[in-house]
Structure 1
């Protein structure tokens, strides 16, 4: 559980983003602490991916304050996000089938020795350690990505976030289209990220996955906050009511309003 007196790893206050006449985010607040998995849930168009892209530096908010460990920051680019310790895995994974696991982990961030030569041995050692920390079942760091299952590829994408000592990891629908066994493995990886002391933002439509791994559930509806819930004590019906709009932060809607 989190200690409310601690400074959050990530704090967002009043974040808004507009695309022309569409308000994608309206005054959104979000806190993420160390050793915490925060799930962002909501219907299609609720603003989840827009908020994730804002944290990742893909989108710049129009208004609002973003702080990392209490320090106001600007995240204008993905490179800036990475420099601040934010790592993101989007649904496309951005991996290369023709490369092995190690090469995918270090793609664009290859280690070199004192002579400037690519240090394959050190990268393989680090790859093995990272996969071990995540309890990954990938058989070898030398196998090509093309030979791995969808779940194992997701494992590689999550492992890649640990290159560069991140503080915050954003995962966009990491269990989508996975089998039950593959989903279970990915959820173990998410728990491992939390155990390593990271703050994790999990975007998912699967409430079973969310409730099994998240500490807190933040509901977005029409680009606005619509409820914050303890994942361990809140029933599915209450979360669903917040997602659909039958429950609002200022109290439940009337049946007539809920149908409108």
Structure 2
């Protein structure tokens, strides 16, 4: 057998414990604006990595790099031990990186099943008789949602009639169904009330329990601490902290995200002004 007929050897599997996604010293600039500076994180199967930060901290830029929307300028980005440099979201999706953005990118007037398969519709028939396999899409959507614990009354209802939390859950179930290895969630609870936020976090945990690696982008330390295993804190494009859950309490996480010593200084200043303010006078009984 000559070299041309030999089978190409399959790539060696990544060693046990290798992160599904790992960013090391990643930086990104837009012209003279440094959006990210030497940020590192790991995403492991069956774990949730939470990225916390206020507006302008660099969370959106980090999402775009992981999702393949923007390439990084410096540092390394590896998927299961293989260094990559995505040039499009399709490349990231083909490698198992599914991103659910805050606006969800759904078509409100289309039924749930149509949004579930949007861009990946199965067909039946050939040639001029080729058409969408509507029955298969309806049945698959219903079963996929049930597997995630989501029991919709009717998958034919427009997705715009669902609550914000329900739409987030459909998007999570869709990513799981289409074989995502890593699920990136952009502020999934930002516009939701307490009850709906709890529902979404329940399904985020369900995705983790299904073996996915999850990246949860949020500015809410309470939500992060409920489900997170690892915490990355960003401030003005740089890392201000990196912790495992076992190494930090909720109070410490909240304090660190709120500014730590800066918060202490502000609290001291406000208390000083309160205690030194002159007493209010009664206009009817002046001193």
TM-score, length basis structure 2: 0.80
| Equivalent in the alignment of 2:84 | 73
Paired residues of 2:48 and 2:230 also in contact (CA < 8 A): yes
TM-score, length basis structure 1: 0.88
Measured against aligned partners, the alpha-carbon deviations of 1:51-109 in whole angstroms (never above 9, x if no partner) come to 01110111111112111111111211111111111111111110011111110011111
Question: Hey, what's the Cα distance between the residues in 2 that align with 1:123 and 1:95?
Answer: 16
Question: Hey, what's the Cα distance between the residues in 2 that align with 1:124 and 1:88?
Answer: 23
Tell me the CA shift for residue 245 of structure 1: 4.8
| Equivalent in the alignment of 2:59 | 48
Query: Are residue 85 (structure 1) and residue 96 (structure 2) matched?
Result: yes
Q: 2:111 aligns with which of 100, 111, 121?
A: 100
- Which structure 2 segments of 5+ residues have no match? 1-14, 269-287
CA distance 1:5–1:246, change in 2 (3 Å): farther
| Equivalent in the alignment of 1:173 | 187
Query: Are residue 148 (structure 1) and residue 159 (structure 2) matched?
Result: no
| Equivalent in the alignment of 1:185 | 199
Tell me the CA shift for residue 157 of structure 1: 2.1
Name the count of aligned residue pairs.
248
Range that drifts further, 91-100 or 120-129 = 120-129
| Equivalent in the alignment of 1:118 | 132
| Equivalent in the alignment of 1:250 | none
Aligned partner of residue 48 in structure 2, secondary structure: strand
Question: Hey, what's the Cα distance between the residues in 2 that align with 1:86 and 1:74?
Answer: 13
Which has the higher Rg, Structure 1 or Structure 2?
Answer: 2
Range that drifts further, 230-239 or 187-196 = 230-239
Q: 1:213 aligns with which of 210, 218, 227?
A: 227
Tell me the CA shift for residue 114 of structure 1: 5.1
Question: Hey, what's the Cα distance between the residues in 1 that align with 2:29 and 2:145?
Answer: 39
Question: Hey, what's the Cα distance between the residues in 2 that align with 1:213 and 1:72?
Answer: 28
Runs of 4+ in 1 over 4 A off after TM superposition: none
- Which structure 1 segments of 5+ residues have no match? 248-252
Query: Are residue 222 (structure 1) and residue 233 (structure 2) matched?
Result: no
Aligned partner of residue 97 in structure 1, secondary structure: coil
Aligned CA-pair RMSD: 2.1
Aligned partner of residue 171 in structure 1, secondary structure: strand
Greater fraction helix:
2
